[in-house]
Amino acid sequence: MKEEQEDKVLSELFRHKLENAEVIPSPGLGKMLIRRVAWREFLRFNPARFNAWYAGSAAVAGAALVLILTTSPGKDNDPESSTIITRPSATEALNENARGNDAAPETGESVNVRSSQKNAGAGAEKPAAMTEAHEVSGDGPEKIKGVLPSAEVPPVTDGKMLAGGTPGMNKLQKTARKADNIINASVTEGCAPLKVLFTTRSLLFDSCRWSFGDGGYSFEKDPEWIFDVEGEYEVILRGYGEAARQSFSSVMIKVHPNPVARFEIAPENAVIPGDEITFLNYSTDASEYRWDFGDGNSSDQFEPKYSYNRYGNYTVRLIAYSVFGCPDSLVVQNAFGSGYYVRFPNAFIPNPNGPSGGFYTNRSDEDSFVFHPVHSGVAEYQLRIFSRRGMLVFESSDVNTGWDGYYKGQSVEPGVYVWKVRGNYINGEPFTLMGDVTLLKGQ
Amino acid sequence: MMSDPQIIEGCARNDRKAQQELYSRYSGFLLGVCMRYATDKAEAEDILQDSFLKIFFNIKDFSGTGSFIGWLRKIAVNTAITHYHKHLKFRYHIEIEDFVSMETGTSSFEEDLFTSDELYRVLNSLPAGYRMVFNLYAVEGYKHKEIADMLGIDTNTSKSQYSRAKAVIRDKLEKLRRLKGNYPAAD
């Protein structure tokens, strides 16, 4: 019994203290974890990546074979020679025949030979073979030095390279770095959001990391990225090859800002046909405008004025274009009601000095002594007002006669009254409205 | 700020942001769990990493019913058990008899007496087998039968290891208390 209790004390001590205890992980742990996750994801069998994965491996294997075959037999004893030789030879093919070193003319040929052999060997991979070589060269000597332990690549000191008969690698790589571009972007500039499909023409690395310049990154080989925000982004591709070779390439993506299309229709309760409509343009960041008035007519003016020929449910559309041609549009459906309306207030205070008969004009009824609508285009009209008990207290078939709040010359009780109105507008459109109004007592 | 369901959904899509969010939100808690099963923080972090890998790649299996944090904890505990099995042969075994010094004190311990750090250290210093059984039984609340299944040991072994673990822990706590008594209010 006692032991059980003790048991409980001990386990409860640990449970309470440690069950939800938090321990702060070491700072680098999260990053390491994410790297591991990415690597696992990459290694995972993925049917979508299946082809690229195997085609890539096959091409790399093919390329390696071709490179080994085409290097001169004298250098074969050096295990690194196959890769080292390709760097200068391929770049030199691009731009450095003129250096006139002993190896230059022959390597110029060898590139062609290589690519044709490649065609025979790995099939339709000519551009890939070329760019692979570029990519390696694009690393620059400093990269190679940095990544590989120097013992592994002893010949990569500039003097030695020159002396060893390979053309001036140092210089070559400087130029090659500029020419080097293994990134293929489906578009390099456009309007936000800009969707860009990146592909890499290189097959020489096993894994890669794209940083898109906006904080996003991807480990896919050919990622698709959407740039939401305007700006210029340097997209950087890092490839990690076998033997810890790294390659690096970048491309600039320019995302143009979007304009904002905005407009207002004036006058506010325009009646069409009849009123001339002004379209007030509040668009920003735009330089060109295209208006569609919805009746088949359009305009390119900044703030067009337009008169419709007949009544209709028009959809007005404004497309604003920025200087880069990025569009934005604003569409207003049913931009104009008929323009006719009847609207009632929900409270009024009858004139305490006695009935007025209900006739009003906007000017004469500044104090809202009369319950009446604001209206436009009313042709036929019948207003009925009931008390809460259902008694008809007022009836009018003249839109210009409202209720003065008196019934048979007597002021009625304050409270809620129900009204119903029906009629037609001058274009024949019928209307039926109902609601309630609170009759307030003046002092 | 993402909600848990958003994070889960994001992780199911392998969305890096969601994974990072999940990590930053729960790594402290889960490391706290792992710490109980490890000899030191480095080992706990190993277990934590493996747990997160499992979590990320199996988050689709989280049914959505029941508590997410409970599910996370369960994965961490299971990973710790796997880890224990994997590293069993490399561990320094301490003969149980060596530890049976137990002076069965009739002590009760107030919670406030020890910091969680100290309790972790007590657990870390236990032999791995003791630690597993004690954690699973006392903190996680599994039955001896279940523990025996999980660890691949006999139920009686679980029971006896537990009682020995208790004795050792009590012993250590007692010492710690005496030590603290000399330096009071050292919190």
Contact yes or no for A255/A194 (Cβ under 8 A): yes
For residues B22 and A33, what is the distance between their CA atoms, to the nearest angstrom?
A: 12
Give, for A319, the enclosing helix (H) or strand (E): strand A316-321
pLDDT of residue A93: 41
With an 8 Å Cβ cutoff, are B23 and A14 in contact? Answer: no
Residue type, B6: Q
With contacts defined as CB-CB under 8 Å, which chain B residues touch A32? 49
By the CB < 8 Å criterion, does B139 face chain A?
yes
For residues B38 and B135, what is the distance between their CA atoms, to the nearest angstrom?
A: 11
With an 8 Å Cβ cutoff, are A14 and B123 in contact? Answer: yes
By the CB < 8 Å criterion, does B56 face chain A?
yes
- What percent of the residues of chain B are helix, what percent strand, and what percent coil, each to the nearest 5? 75, 0, 25
With an 8 Å Cβ cutoff, are B31 and A23 in contact? Answer: yes
With an 8 Å Cβ cutoff, are A30 and B57 in contact? Answer: no
First-to-final CA distance of chain A: 85
Contact yes or no for A276/A306 (Cβ under 8 A): yes
With contacts defined as CB-CB under 8 Å, which chain A residues touch B119? 13-14, 17-18
Search chain B and give the residue with CA nearest A25: B28
By the CB < 8 Å criterion, does B57 face chain A?
yes
Q: Do domains A263-332 and A341-439 have the same CATH topology?
A: yes
For residues A315 and A379, what is the distance between their CA atoms, to the nearest angstrom?
A: 27
For residues A191 and A393, what is the distance between their CA atoms, to the nearest angstrom?
A: 64
Closest CB from A6, A18, A40 relative to B119:
A18
pLDDT tens string B142-185 = 889 999 988 888 888 888 888 888 888 888 888 888 877 665 44
Residue A43's Cβ-count burial label (10 Å; 0-12, 13-18, 19+) is exposed
CATH superfamily of A263-332: Immunoglobulins (2.60.40.10)
By the CB < 8 Å criterion, does B67 face chain A?
no
With an 8 Å Cβ cutoff, are B109 and A34 in contact? Answer: no
pLDDT tens string B54-112 = 888 888 888 777 788 888 888 999 999 888 888 765 555 554 444 444 444 445 566 66
With an 8 Å Cβ cutoff, are B53 and A33 in contact? Answer: yes
With an 8 Å Cβ cutoff, are A21 and B19 in contact? Answer: no
For residues A225 and A209, what is the distance between their CA atoms, to the nearest angstrom?
A: 13
Instruction: Indicate the pTM of the whole model.
Output: 0.38
CATH superfamily of A183-256: Immunoglobulins (2.60.40.10)
For residues A309 and A181, what is the distance between their CA atoms, to the nearest angstrom?
A: 59
Low-confidence ranges of chain A (pLDDT < 50): 74-179
For residues A141 and A78, what is the distance between their CA atoms, to the nearest angstrom?
A: 19
pLDDT of residue B89: 58
* ipTM summary value: 0.77
A377 CA to centre of own chain: 46
Structural domain boundaries of chain A? 183-256, 263-332, 341-439
With contacts defined as CB-CB under 8 Å, which chain A residues touch B57? 40
pLDDT of residue A392: 92
| Sheet bearing A288-292, strands edge to edge | A298-299, A288-292, A316-321, A327-332
With contacts defined as CB-CB under 8 Å, which chain B residues touch A4? none
In this structure, which CATH number among 1.10.8, 2.60.40, 1.20.1440, 2.30.29 belongs to the domain A341-439?
2.60.40
